[in-house]
Amino acid sequence: QKEVEQDPGPLSVPEGAIVSLNCTYSNSAFQYFMWYRQYSRKGPELLMYTYSSGNKEDGRFTAQVDKSSKYISLFIRDSQPSDSATYLCAIFGSYGKLTFGQGTILTVHP
Amino acid sequence: ETGVTQTPRHLVMGMTNKKSLKCEQHLGHNAMYWYKQSAKKPLELMFVYSLEERVENNSVPSRFSPECPNSSHLFLHLHTLQPEDSALYLCASSQDAGYEQYFGPGTRLTVT
């Protein structure tokens, strides 16, 4: 079983739609959960992180963690064409080790 | 220069060549990383350096040899690579080997 599973998509939505991106993980010991965004020909950039369970909101983005079901989500409200990118979930272990999901390719079309 | 820079951005090498990838961070961090990103595979951690000491070697073949001469610079020396080593190689840095890692744009490596 992979440590982090993420549906690679691709996902295509119209501008203004609500986008839901999801990952599952296997190790219940993890406490930090991250979302990275990667534009074409660029490195990933940290979008949001959540510690333990609960929600975290930043503008149009909401990160959610449900530790009981080992499920992490990223919601994008009022999606824009500029949100088109690959979204990577990641979990943080010891010694700086980030374990990534495969990434979901998102396209928001005008 | 700001953030994390990587050179070269693109590299084509034969299986018998020796080349090096360079990474430099301008963020004042004390930990640096090499990751490999292959098509249809998750980003994969290769090496972690914290305070210039290697603290993680994620079962990477010996044909990849990292070097961290100081906290701002990281190299990945390549020799006798295989075609399956073709990938995007990303460098990252953070403070105290933490979760907030900043990535460079990557080096697109093609092994022929």
Chain-centre distance of CA A33, in angstroms?
9
pLDDT of residue A28: 83
Confidence category of residue B1, pLDDT binned at 50, 70, 90 = low
Residue numbers in A near B31 (CB within 8 A) = 96
pLDDT of residue A71: 93
| Inter-chain touch B45–A46, beta carbons under 8 Å | no
Confidence category of residue A93, pLDDT binned at 50, 70, 90 = confident
| Inter-chain touch A102–B40, beta carbons under 8 Å | yes
Query: Is 90 exceeded by the pLDDT of residue B54?
Result: no
A35 touches chain B (CB under 8 A): no
Residue numbers in A near B90 (CB within 8 A) = 43-44
| Inter-chain touch B92–A43, beta carbons under 8 Å | yes
pLDDT, averaged across chain B? 92
pLDDT of residue A31: 85
What is the token pair recorded at A75? 């919601």
Query: Is 80 exceeded by the pLDDT of residue B55?
Result: no
End-to-end CA distance of chain A: 38
What is the spatial distance between Cα A75 and Cα B88, in angstroms, rounded to a whole number?
28
Please say whether the beta carbons of B41 and A102 come within 8 A: yes
Residue numbers in A near B50 (CB within 8 A) = 95-96
pLDDT of residue A70: 92
Cis ω for the linkage preceding A10 (within 30 of 0): yes
What would the pLDDT profile of B61-92 be if each residue is shown by its tens digit?
A: 999 999 999 999 999 999 999 999 999 999 99
Strands A104-109 and A11-14: parallel
Strands A19-25 and B53-57: unpaired
Q: Please, which contacts does B51-55 make with residues 24 or more away whose CB atoms are closer than 8 Å?
A: B55/A95, B55/A96, B55/B97
Q: Please, which contacts does A48-51 make with residues 24 or more away whose CB atoms are closer than 8 Å?
A: A48/A74, A49/A92, A49/B99, A49/B100
What would the pLDDT profile of A39-80 be if each residue is shown by its tens digit?
A: 998 999 999 999 888 899 999 999 999 989 999 999 999 999
Among A2, A92, A100, beta carbon nearest to B99: A92
